[in-house]
Amino acid sequence: MTADDGDGDWRDALGAAGELTPGIVARILDAHGDRGRRAIDAVGEGRVKQYADFTVVVGHEDEYVVEGGGCTCRDSQYNLDPDDPDQRCWHVLAVEVAERVGAVDHHDMYYSEVRDFL
């Protein structure tokens, strides 16, 4: 069995592979549709940022704080069941993907310090 095989969760397969293979991408898209595509795009564009206090995903209109499997975006707050691990916004999915492939952009400062500059 390879990491691309259909058994188990895509998160486990991605963690084992350490990279986005075509089979894993297909599994993410099957499970999450457009949210999965947006997450993969964000990871590829380096928009997952880890600060000393939060992980932030840079969206096209705003930045969203992701912590503990939750997100500050409206999709998470209003459309998704927080008790269902398969229902995640694309920001949370992006963090999950980026962590497993080593694509988190680490910053040695607090996010609150960055926000002061904006």
Are 57 and 64 in contact by the 8 Å Cβ rule? The answer is yes
For the cut 50, the answer to whether the pLDDT of residue 3 exceeds it is no
HEC per residue, 4-69: CCCCCCHHHHHHHHCCCCHHHHHHHHHHHHHHHHHHHHHHHCCCEEECCCCEEEECCCCEEEEECC
pLDDT in tens, 82-117: 888 789 999 999 999 999 999 999 999 998 777 665
For the chain, the domains span 10-117
| pLDDT band at residue 4 under the 50/70/90 scheme | low
For the cut 70, the answer to whether the pLDDT of residue 59 exceeds it is yes
pLDDT at 118: 55
pLDDT in tens, 33-51: 999 999 999 999 999 999 9
| pLDDT band at residue 57 under the 50/70/90 scheme | very high
Classify residue 34 by burial, with Cβ atoms within 10 Å: 0-12, 13-18, 19+.
exposed
Cα–Cα distance between 94 and 105 in angstroms, integer?
Answer: 12
How far is CA 26 from its chain centroid?
16
| Average pLDDT across the chain, whole number | 90
Q: Which pTM value belongs to this model?
A: 0.89
